[in-house]
Structure 1
Amino acid sequence: MASTAVEACRWTVTALARYAPATISVLLPAPDRLRCIAATGAWQVFSTVPPEAGIVSRVYASGIGATVPDVAADPDYLPAHPGVTAEICVPVLDPAGRPIGVLDLQWSGPVELGLWRQTAERVAGRLGARITALGGPPAESRSEKLLRHAVALTTAPTEWDLMTEAICAAREVSTLSAAVLLLAGRAGPRLGAPTGETGELESRVRAELTEAGGPELHDMIARAHRHGSCYTLGETGHPPTAEYRPLADAGVRTLVAVPVGPPDSGGVLLVADERLLRPDPTTVNLMELLAGQAWTCLDRLRTLARLREQASSDPLTGLRHTGPFGQRIARATPGRTALLAIDVDGFKAVNDTYGHQAGDRLLVGLARALEAALRQGDELYRIGGDEFVAVIEVSRPEEAVRIAERLAEAARGTGRTISVGVALPHPGESPEQTLRRADQALYAVKRQGRDAVHLSTT
């Protein structure tokens, strides 16, 4: 008599509960997990079970039921109801014999497992046939889809992954065909990451927004933050406001626009369709929740990136310091990776005569000059007060010497001089030994009068 799959699951659990002193649940598949559709018991029923977790997932994946007389001996058992001792879990199969869910029973006292296993399999067979007749397991609700994507947003490792996930979520939850994320930036507004599933409308929207340029995109973001979320009613004869003209030119006829983050650094989420539709307020609310979650996760990623940068960078010059330097020289290639040990000539006298602020300004200016003199891919580190090390890849020692001389010339352009010691790793030599030879070459320059370059040949 059940008219929906959910009703069929609930009535099955209710009927079994009249005769079985057990905790009973029916779980059906969602895109990336099993979700509980109906259950008895007060403590505790899992709302969802991730793949490859628990006896229920094992049974669903294999299509083979399980009788577990001692749950403590089964490594897949998920502790739920207190005092559970035994469990029977059987697959819910469609008429073709494919698993479409599981029926799970857990006991806390003596039970004839053999008889109950037969009963559970017969009931699961009836339930599977009824669910199939009703069109199969129920589809995810939009709120369930949003929850699934919200979890993915929190675990996104990079901004690119996060924006891709947010765009996919906007399309799937709204059921509209296109979504773009427009974010403010130092160089002006920019489009978020495209996804591999970009449809024709989304491609046109991205092209129109790219062609529109910074001022129009800025106006679009400003409007969203000034007036809040908005949406079209999908009615003909009502032209868009000036800010959304590029979207209309791309063929958009239905639009939901939601502000993302704060006005100065956030942006706007645009979800669109070329069909004339009528989004309801619930759709807008879900997009607002998605935008809020996306911004929270994006802000967290940016904060972590800033903290990592601060932890690995010298706060005065902005150069990387000893930690990253140690990791870099550990990857040195014998005969190719040259280390250039650099020391500022007469730096102590500057500090003693003019004070530490003057010394700091000297170091910052010198760091910028040395960075500018290096090639693309070369790396410069500050490893001590006035001590720097450049790590460069060269084909022969003479090339390393030429680059060191270019650094010395750049230093002279700032009104200061430096001494540079150069060393290339020998086969079997540790990075620390190579750096020690570069330092020894540097000291040789100091002894010979400074403002020069010396190559270690030992």
Structure 2
Amino acid sequence: MASSAQEACRWTVTALSRYTPATISVLLQVHDRLRCVAATGAWQVFATVPPGTGIVGRVYETGTAAVVPDVTADPDYLPVRPDVTAELCVPVLDPSGRPLGVLDLQWSGPVDLEPWRETAQRLAARLGARIIALGGPPAESRSEKLLRHAAAVSSAPTEWDLMGAASCAAREVSTLSTAVLLIAGPEGALLGPSPLVPGELETRIRAELTEAGPTALGRMVDRAHRYGAGYTLGEAGQPPTEDYRPLTRAGVRTLVAVPVGPADAGGVLLVADERLLRPDPTTVSLMELLAGQAWTSLDRLRTLARLREQASSDPLTGLRHTGPFGQRIAAATPGRTALLAIDVDGFKTVNDTYGHQAGDRVLVGLARALEGALRHGDELYRIGGDEFVAVIEVSRPEEAVRIAERLTEAARRTGRTISVGVALPRPGESPDLTLRRADQALYAVKRQGRDGVHLSAA
């Protein structure tokens, strides 16, 4: 008499509970987990169980019933109440023998499991047949989809992955065919990644948005943040606002637009379809929840990136400092990686005469000049007050000396001079010892009058 799979499961559990005080539950495979569809007899049950987890997961994967007279002896047991002593779990199979889920019973007192095993298996067989007759296990609800996708968005390792996960979630939860996420970037709104196999509508939308340019994209973002989420009624013959012309040129006839994050740094989530549909307010609410989750996760990724940058960079000059420098020289190649120890000549006098703010300006100006004199791939670090080190890859020592001389020329153009000591790692030599030899070469320049370069002996 049941009219749905959920109802069939509930009636099965209710009928069984009249004859036994056991905790009874039916779990069916929904998307990638076993989800509890009906239960009785316990203060709390597991709503979802990951694949292969617990006795229920084992039974589902093997298709074989489990009779457990002592749950304390089974390492897979998932406790639902503290007094459970025995468990019986049987697979719910369709008529062809394919597992759909499990019927699980747990007792807290003495019980003869074998008779119950036969009864449970017969009930599970009838339940499986009825579920198939009713169209199969229940589909994942939109709220369940949103929950699953929210976890994927939260765990995305990069901004690009996160934007892709959010777009995928919007498509699946809304049931519209296309979703595009626009997020503000340094050069205007940034289009998130497309799916591996984008549909024709998404391809056209991306082409139109790219051709429209940053100003048009900015208007879409501004509209969403100025007025809030909006959606079409999917009715023919209604003209779009000017802001959405690029989308209608692409063939969009149904659109949900939701603001993402704050107006100055966020963006807009566009969920679209070329069919004339009528999104309901619940769909818009789910998209707003998704947009909020996406922005929270994106903001967290950006905050972590800033903290990592601050932890590895000198706040005054923006150069990397001792931590990254230690990692870099640990990977130095003997005979090819040159260390250039750099010291600003007369820097103490600047601080003593003009103050530390003037000294800071000197350091920042020198840092920019030295960076500009290095080649692409060369690295410059600030490892002390007025001490810098450049790490460069060269084919011979003379090349390192020429680059050091370029640095001294760049410093002179700022009105300051520097002393540079050059050393190449020897086979088997520790990075610290190489740096010490570069420092010794630098002091040799100081003794000779500063403003020069000295190469440490090989």
Shared fold (TM-score greater than 0.5)? yes
**Counterpart residue number, 1:170:** 170
**Counterpart residue number, 1:294:** 294
1:290-340 Cα distance to aligned partner (Å, 9 max, x none): 111111111111111111111111111111111122222222223332222
1:260-300 Cα distance to aligned partner (Å, 9 max, x none): 11111111110001111111111111111111111111111
**Counterpart residue number, 1:126:** 126
**Residue type of the alignment partner of 2:231:** Y
More displaced 10-residue stretch of structure 1: 400-409 or 315-324: 400-409
1:123-160 Cα distance to aligned partner (Å, 9 max, x none): 22221111122221111111111111111111111111
**Counterpart residue number, 1:63:** 63
> Residues 62 and 428 of structure 1: is their aligned pair in 2 closer, same or farther, counting only changes over 3 Å?
farther
Residue aligned with 1:235, SS: coil
**Residue type of the alignment partner of 1:431:** P
Q: CA deviation at 1:197?
A: 3.5
Q: Partners of 1:131 and 1:325 in 2: how far apart? A: 64
**Counterpart residue number, 2:440:** 440
How does 1:166-315 map onto structure 2 within 5 Å? Answer: 166-315=166-315
**Counterpart residue number, 1:17:** 17
Identity %: 81
Runs of 4+ in 1 over 4 A off after TM superposition: none
> Residues 26 and 395 of structure 1: is their aligned pair in 2 closer, same or farther, counting only changes over 3 Å?
farther
Q: Partners of 1:86 and 1:333 in 2: how far apart? A: 64
**Counterpart residue number, 2:421:** 421
Normalising by structure 1, we get a TM-score of: 0.96
More displaced 10-residue stretch of structure 1: 113-122 or 151-160: 113-122
1:76-125 Cα distance to aligned partner (Å, 9 max, x none): 22222122222222221112212111112222222222332232222222
> Residues 82 and 385 of structure 1: is their aligned pair in 2 closer, same or farther, counting only changes over 3 Å?
same
Q: CA deviation at 1:9?
A: 1.0
Q: Is the Cα contact below 8 Å between 2:425 and 2:431 reproduced in 1?
A: yes
> Residues 436 and 109 of structure 1: is their aligned pair in 2 closer, same or farther, counting only changes over 3 Å?
farther
More displaced 10-residue stretch of structure 1: 354-363 or 37-46: 37-46
**Residue type of the alignment partner of 1:93:** L
Q: Is the Cα contact below 8 Å between 1:380 and 1:390 reproduced in 2?
A: yes
Matched, 1:54 2:35: no
> Residues 453 and 120 of structure 1: is their aligned pair in 2 closer, same or farther, counting only changes over 3 Å?
farther
Q: In angstroms, what is the RMSD of aligned CA positions?
A: 1.5
Q: CA deviation at 1:30?
A: 2.2
Q: Partners of 1:403 and 1:25 in 2: how far apart? A: 74
> Residues 296 and 338 of structure 1: is their aligned pair in 2 closer, same or farther, counting only changes over 3 Å?
same
How does 1:133-152 map onto structure 2 within 5 Å? Answer: 133-152=133-152
Q: CA deviation at 1:360?
A: 0.7
Q: CA deviation at 1:385?
A: 0.8
**Counterpart residue number, 1:319:** 319
Structure 1: runs of 5+ lacking an equivalent: none
**Counterpart residue number, 1:72:** 72
Q: Is the Cα contact below 8 Å between 1:43 and 1:82 reproduced in 2?
A: no
Q: Partners of 2:94 and 2:396 in 1: how far apart? A: 70
1:364-412 Cα distance to aligned partner (Å, 9 max, x none): 1111111122222222111111111122222332222222222222111
**Counterpart residue number, 1:45:** 45
Q: CA deviation at 1:173?
A: 0.5
**Residue type of the alignment partner of 1:325:** F
Q: Is the Cα contact below 8 Å between 1:174 and 1:287 reproduced in 2?
A: yes
1:181-233 Cα distance to aligned partner (Å, 9 max, x none): 11122322221222213211111101100110111111111111111111111
Q: Partners of 2:326 and 2:134 in 1: how far apart? A: 64
Matched, 1:31 2:31: yes
**Counterpart residue number, 1:117:** 117
More displaced 10-residue stretch of structure 1: 120-129 or 151-160: 120-129
> Residues 397 and 16 of structure 1: is their aligned pair in 2 closer, same or farther, counting only changes over 3 Å?
farther
